[in-house]
Chain A
């Protein structure tokens, strides 16, 4: 069964450094998402992406964040200058076209900022 894959599974970075989280969505999906989950809290939306542009972004997704689909298979989330509060699990998700289609999630990248 097709699945969303994310790398790395764990990333440890010094505060102020740039980090890139990578995702390979399911191949025939066209809608892509990033969510994050701080330990013990809800899964919360960061950004949605369709047709090579951002569809919607949350208040969390400020100028330090960016997303890119550099080729036909990868979808990346970049944090330019990491902060301690960026420590969280980051999940990539994708879905196919059509209404009411479920989003399928990867197993996440655990980002630890020191």
Chain B
């Protein structure tokens, strides 16, 4: 069964304090990996797609990387507005379904 595990469950940082979030996955034939941001009471907001080991994507203070077994979301010099839950998901399923299997997420709090 395809599984996604994220760590830590929660992370508190001071503004400007860089860190990384981890997403490890077990899938039969990786078809990509997605990172989403979720604010309280909102739906997941798409951030990045990673397709193959060694790939990196960047957006403002966020950089996502992918290896054969895990992905990291690096946050450089975070600001309070980066506070959110960050979700990792892999597509799986039959044919063109491409349903997503999500991790439980990392709740990030950035204090000013």
Contacts and interface: CB of A to CB of B under 8 A. Distances in A.
B93 A100 contact: no
A12 to B, nearest CB: 16
B42 interface: yes
Interface residues of B, number: 28
A99 B31 contact: yes
Contact of B42 (A56, A99, A104, A108): A108
Interface string B74-111: 00000000000001010101111111111111000000
Contact of B104 (A42, A100, A102): A42
A43 B97 CA distance: 17
A43 B87 contact: yes
SS class, residues of chain B in contact with chain A: loop
A22 to B, nearest CB: 15
Given A91-B44, A100-B32, A105-B44, A42 B93 contact: no
Contacts of A35: 100
Given A100-B51, A102-B49, A55 B96 contact: yes
B43 interface: yes
A48 B44 contact: no
B104 A56 contact: no
Interface residues of A, number: 28
Contacts of B43: 4, 6, 91, 93, 105-108
Interface of A: 4, 6, 31, 33, 35, 41-45, 48, 50, 55-56, 58, 91, 93, 95, 99-100, 102-108, 110
22 contacts: A31-B98, A41-B104, A43-B100, A45-B93, A45-B101, A48-B98, A48-B99, A50-B96, A55-B94, A55-B97, A91-B43, A99-B31, A100-B31, A100-B32, A100-B51, A102-B34, A102-B49, A103-B34, A103-B46, A104-B46, A107-B41, A108-B42
